Structure 1
């Protein structure tokens, strides 16, 4: 039937053979140049359960047509079957990845949004896809939001935050994640300039999980009554280092606020805090940088502390034993920390500072056999 009729069926929708893939007798996936898609989208989604739409953009005029097409999509609304919407510019620039929006549905209701975005500052691209989706009535009870950044170097959070604020508060959102993605497999130094964490948190009153990538964090008062898990990565401010793998090396760079926001933060239900120090060669950490975490008063529910890939593990151990909330910790995860016998001795001498500890994650590397054996005897070690 498809061989005999698909050309005429597609023509009724304004499509040509090759534009669409059928499933169960219906148009399921559509790939279309942005110029030809104008006037087609509304007709298409009214009549077919389209799950994926890829819009091709190139130098021959479709870039100019794209904003008009996106406005048409906004006016017509997202199809209740749509699960994937892409803007593909690879026809004229193969180093650019797709701006891709994915929708996780329960029936027609949108429970989760996931966005891969090449450039947060580019108009009529990934952020506009997100803006359209957030404005759709089916996303009113959104529960998860995941944004993955594809660009190299620095990305400003301002445009994304403005898009989220324009969409308004989401009283049902529980999980918000910002991360980096490398579809090509090539890594480079990347970070986000996060203008205001407080403004972001204010949009989501029941948020429970917040995950951030390497980011410049401002010194500001942060308060949230429901947040349970917070994951932070590289936290120096004003990075000025190389962005090419071949040039990575230790160098003095300007230092910034680091973990300062934790000193006065009020997060009464925060149970898990994860900090990754894996770029210590890029921003050199000192004991003073840990002080805001160690002195924080507003984390009364903290039970699980994960401090990963810290190259000065002995200093970390000396500081942790004086942490205000040490006595309430149940999990202390020092994955990747570089320890010597000095750090192990500190933990052994101050075992009484961690009376609730059920799990200590660390490895034997750098430790003598005798001290490693004693550490395993005194602590519930998970290596």
Structure 2
């Protein structure tokens, strides 16, 4: 999943698009439940609220199981929308919703650091049966600790994830969560979480079902790798990702010196700053693990950069 193209498939369903360009006589899928529905507008066009209202009139939302929110405006727009508020108010119209992606917005539409939100906590109350929630962008993002017996996938894509959001995830009660991804980002874009903020996640106490953990795109990837090396949660994981960040030989050494990782099915380290010798060491230490060491980067002077920031 990248930030430069829209989703074509989501939650196992093909994506059907409804946008500011969708006309009343356009042909739409006959069964609303057979698609993941994208709803979005475009810059300097119909306000998102109007597009969303037309969508609810044109499509039988009571059958929708997967929903994608695209471009919804920006703070400098007079008609900027609050997608969390709009969705929460419309929750009764989506009784079967199980998967929600907020912010399927490409770099051409808006830089990831420009995507602005408010408090998204009400979404988890409005849609208590969500099994999958994903969001792109984190400017102004607020989250309170949540409780969910149904949530299995939780993903945050960001060039800078606020520490308060990381702390809220860490304090949440998610006994059936299987997949957690946090693009932590860098401090220049609001990514001020520390390795200590991740401690409750790494303990695994509140995440007994977790099988995939991604702590990615971080400017402190070496510190995170060192914390992961001794983390109790790792023993129950099937896949682990420390990709997209500023991982160097120091972080890789910490991983290799920590608990065994040979039980993993896959370890994703793509976009890294490892030396050739360390790349070979990692491969040799994990012969039965699918290790992604692509995108071997070179620092720009003394600047080590994460993959997604602005």
TM-score (norm. length: structure 1): 0.59
Cα displacement (A) at 1:256: 5.3
Q: For 1:1-383, what aligned pairs fall within 5 Å after superposition?
A: 87=20, 105-107=29-31, 111-118=35-42, 125-134=47-56, 138-149=60-71, 151-152=73-74, 159-169=82-92, 170-182=94-106, 187=111, 189-197=113-121, 199-215=122-138, 216-234=140-158, 257-285=164-192, 286-295=194-203, 297-352=205-260, 354=261, 356-363=263-270, 365-379=272-286, 380=289, 381-383=291-293
Q: How many residues align?
A: 270
Contact 1:227 1:270 in 2 (8 A): yes
Q: Considering only aligned residues, what root-mean-square deviation do their CA atoms show, in Å?
A: 3.7
Where does residue 52 of structure 1 map in the other structure? none
Contact 1:112 1:144 in 2 (8 A): yes
Q: Give the whole-Å Cα distance in 1 for the aligned partners of 2:82 and 2:55.
A: 16
1:313 to 1:112, Cα distance in 2 relative to 1, 3 A: closer
Cα displacement (A) at 1:355: 5.8
Contact 2:17 2:37 in 1 (8 A): no
Over residues 333-360 of structure 1, what are the superposed CA-to-partner deviations in whole Å (9 max), with x where a residue is unaligned? 12223222221221112133x4631211
Q: Which protein has greater RCO, CA pairs closer than 8 Å, 6+ apart?
A: 2
1:111 to 1:328, Cα distance in 2 relative to 1, 3 A: same
Cα displacement (A) at 1:303: 0.8
**Greater gyration radius:** 1
Contact 1:287 1:316 in 2 (8 A): yes
Q: Give the whole-Å Cα distance in 2 for the aligned partners of 1:221 and 1:105.
A: 37
Counterpart secondary structure, 1:140? helix
Counterpart secondary structure, 2:164? coil
Gaps of 5+ in 1: 1-82, 89-97, 238-254
Cα displacement (A) at 1:325: 1.3
Where does residue 48 of structure 1 map in the other structure? none
Counterpart secondary structure, 2:210? coil
More strand by share: 1
Cα displacement (A) at 1:222: 0.4
Contact 2:229 2:257 in 1 (8 A): no
Q: Give the whole-Å Cα distance in 1 for the aligned partners of 2:171 and 2:83.
A: 26
Where does residue 74 of structure 1 map in the other structure? none
Q: Give the whole-Å Cα distance in 2 for the aligned partners of 1:366 and 1:196.
A: 35
Gaps of 5+ in 2: 1-15, 294-310
